Amino acid sequence: MMQTIFDVIKTKAIVREWKKSGNTIGFVPTMGFLHEGHLSLIQKSVSENNRTVVSIFVNPTQFAPTEDLDKYPQDIQADTNMCGLAGVDLIFLPTVEEMYSNYSTFVDVEGLTNGLCGKSRPGHFRGVCTIVNKLFNITTPDRAYFGQKDAQQLAVIKKMVLDLNMDVEVITCPTIREKDGLAKSSRNSYLSPEERKAARVVSQAIFEGERLVKSGVKEVANVVKAMEDIIQTEPLAQIDYVEIVDGYSMKKIEKIEMTEKSLILGAVAVFFGKTRLIDNFIVN
């Protein structure tokens, strides 16, 4: 039977008992308002582990003062129902006070966070790394599941796990999309009908960029230009960034050279009104 636990000590005690009994632990960190993308992570965890923990916590330290913390969508009842049906064993649902009372310790990953969303959202990844570190310490999972849609976040978390010798395997899961290609996101609920229709250009640009790279186009500027041209066909779209980077270092590249060790990341962030959507493709 699924449990919903609100405090750290009880959560740690339950997981500790599971591990004493030889269970493997899968963990899916979320900010709630769960959709099919989250569900795919949960289902993979349930299939690969004896026990699955899902956290639901809107983390204030990863939001800038001008961002959408106060209006971030929430539906705890729907989230609970989805988790129960998917076979989750424990929902960790802490308050801000539970996670950050008298708090003064933060985690930074340097280098990987300088560009893309790190440039557009200063301090964002400091908050992400801090909360993920805390959640890993609380739930002590064997495996943790993240979606490719947040590719930079995934790279940063993998680097943190490597650098801090964390005993957890970070699993990458594919982006789940709407029928028209738009990547599933909790923030899609902010879009007006007109903005939602316009947002299709984001995935269209991603698919075209991926096609060009796979077809052998070498000049990054040409790929970026083609992607920007697609997005700019929509008057409601305001580009934050369109970039092709090395998928390991997150540094910009000028030429696409495909070798056995190459990892090419094409990433975009686009505003529709006040709603910022991200998407990406990876070619290796």
**For residue 160, which phi and psi values (nearest 5 degrees)?**
-60, -45
| Number of neighbouring beta carbons within 10 Å of residue 283 | 18
Rounded (10°) angle between helices 124-139 and 8-20: 50
Per-residue pLDDT of the chain (284 residues; tens, 9 = 90+): 999 999 999 999 999 999 999 999 999 999 999 999 999 999 999 999 999 999 999 999 999 999 999 999 999 999 999 999 999 999 999 999 999 999 999 999 999 999 999 999 999 999 999 999 999 999 999 999 999 999 999 999 999 999 999 999 999 999 999 999 999 999 999 999 999 999 999 999 999 999 999 999 999 999 999 999 999 999 999 999 999 999 999 999 999 988 888 899 999 999 999 999 999 999 99
3-state secondary structure of 36: helix
**279, 206 Cβ separation under 8 angstroms:** yes
**Using H for helix, E for strand and C for coil, what is the string for 272-283?**
ECCEEEEEEEEE
Rounded (10°) angle between helices 76-86 and 36-48: 30
Question: What's the whole-model pTM score?
Answer: 0.96
DSSP state at residue 248: T
Q: Which two tokens stand for residue 255?
A: 């030429």
Rounded to an integer, what distance in angstroms lies between the CA atom of residue 199 and that of residue 102? 41
Sign for the CA dihedral angle at 136, 140, 145, 151 comes to positive
Q: Which two tokens stand for residue 281?
A: 């493709």
- Positions marked active-site: 38
Rounded to an integer, what distance in angstroms lies between the CA atom of residue 180 and that of residue 140? 38
**266, 206 Cβ separation under 8 angstroms:** yes
Q: Which two tokens stand for residue 273?
A: 């009104």
**For residue 24, which phi and psi values (nearest 5 degrees)?**
-90, 150
DSSP state at residue 32: S
pLDDT of 103:
95
DSSP state at residue 71: G
pLDDT of 260:
85
pLDDT of 259:
87
Domains present along the chain, CATH in parentheses: 3-173 (3.40.50.620), 186-283 (3.30.1300.10)
β 264-272/169-173 pair status: unpaired
pLDDT of 177:
98
Rounded to an integer, what distance in angstroms lies between the CA atom of residue 205 and that of residue 219? 16
pLDDT of 27:
99
pLDDT of 3:
98
